[in-house]
Amino acid sequence: MDRTDTQAGLGPRRLAWNAVNETLKRRVPFDDVMEELARDERLSARDEALARAIAIVTFRRLGTIGWALRERLSKGTRDERLLHLLAIGAAQILFLDVPDHAAVDTAVQLAQGDHRLRHAGGLINAVLRRVAREREAILATGDPWLDTPGWLEQRWIAQYGEDVAAKIAEAHRSTASVDLTVKADGSAWAERVGGLLLPTGSVRLTERTAIRDLPGYAEGGWWVQDAAAALPARLLAPQPGERIADLCAAPGGKTAQLAAAGADVLAVDRSAKRLKRLDENLARLGLSARTRAIDAEKLDEPPFDAILLDAPCSATGTIRRHPDVAWTKGDEDVAKLAALQARLLDKAADLLKVGGRLVYCTCSLEAEEGESQAEAFLARHSDFARQPIDASEIGGLAECLTPEGDMRTLPFHLILPDSDRSGLDGFFAARFVKQPSP
């Protein structure tokens, strides 16, 4: 690859660098930052995919990368932009199929194009070339906690114990698979898309490919949804004609499940923009649901037969899929979101008919957003009883049930013969039934 080639590769590296920098500086979701910045770069789909891959692996292995750089920066640096530029360069060298010289040269050129970092070209060249020379030694470290920030390490050890917590940390070093929820006939769709039918009913793709190019996309035969995320709607057991509210509904995978079952669904979300995307997804799938852009706490509707509350949460259960979460969230976010979840649960209780079903779920690994939240809800609402979940309802995954009968999936659950295709998002779900007044 000559200098012309590396210059041609500057666009995706610049986008990855800026996206990593802005995500960590602003502590906002990477996907939102990427969407915002990609509009300005105007890259090809291939180059944007490269930028995304570089940024994602940087977040996924940020601890390892940071350690490797600190060991090789003799004087250290407090310049965050320089550190992030070094990080995306090291990520390519250590974890992506990118020629070393391309990763080094593009990082140097990006620095030379930034008036604040023009002086750093020599440093970047020296550090990244050393990373390349010492790749094997860097990758030989076996500490499962190296890529997990301290706030999560302490939490998970306290909640799950050292052995389980270490398995969670190790699972987060691997890439999440892509799962599909199908309208019907999962085995046939698995064959058509070249996937694997999971015991839970989802179809797991075995090859990386453009989603829009897969059979069934245009005809609306399926939608992308992690296998664990597909379970709460199934636990609600929607029936044709039932009035069901999907609170905090976007991006809409669970809404689609409820609508596909024939329920009369009201999808509620605060964001009109996200609801617009939900409507577009439903249109592709040939499904329909009413939508309301409103804060669920302010919703005023006649009582529902069933309610699904997939509450806003810290999303620590999705770190395999969204590794930026580990570095942009903190203890304060968990506490703030747990308070919101409690308010939303109380609102859902008011909106439910006597005899109605409520499924509460979060894609969090934190007890405050799961087990503790469920217990607190039952303590506040004597007119609700837990309806325990049976392993047969979740594909026989008995290891994903708590002693109380709630569902708790962990990133290392669902072990498959192909270890690269194993795992689930971390999810919690509890099911309640509203009792008649005494």
The radius of gyration of the chain's CA atoms, rounded to the nearest angstrom, is 23
93 alpha-carbon distance from chain centroid = 25
CA distance 31 to 44: 17
Pick the closest to residue 319 from 135, 155, 93, 203 (CA basis). 155
Q: Which of 248, 313, 361, 363 is catalytic?
A: 363
| 176 phi-psi bin (left φ>0, alpha ψ -120 to 50, beta other) | beta
Active site residue 363: yes
* Pair of tokens at residue 6: 């590396």
**Is the link from the previous residue into 388 a cis peptide, with omega within 30 of 0?**
no
Closest among 27, 31, 19 to 251, alpha carbons compared = 31
Closest listed residue to residue 104, CA positions, set 119, 95, 93? 93
CA nearest neighbour of 324 among 15, 27, 47: 27
Q: Write out the two tokens for 319.
A: 């770190």
Query: Tokens 């962990």 label which residue?
Result: 410
Asked if 94 and 66 count as a contact pair (C-beta separation under 8 A), the reply is no
Dihedral sign (CA 187, 189, 195, 200): negative
Residues with catalytic annotation?
363
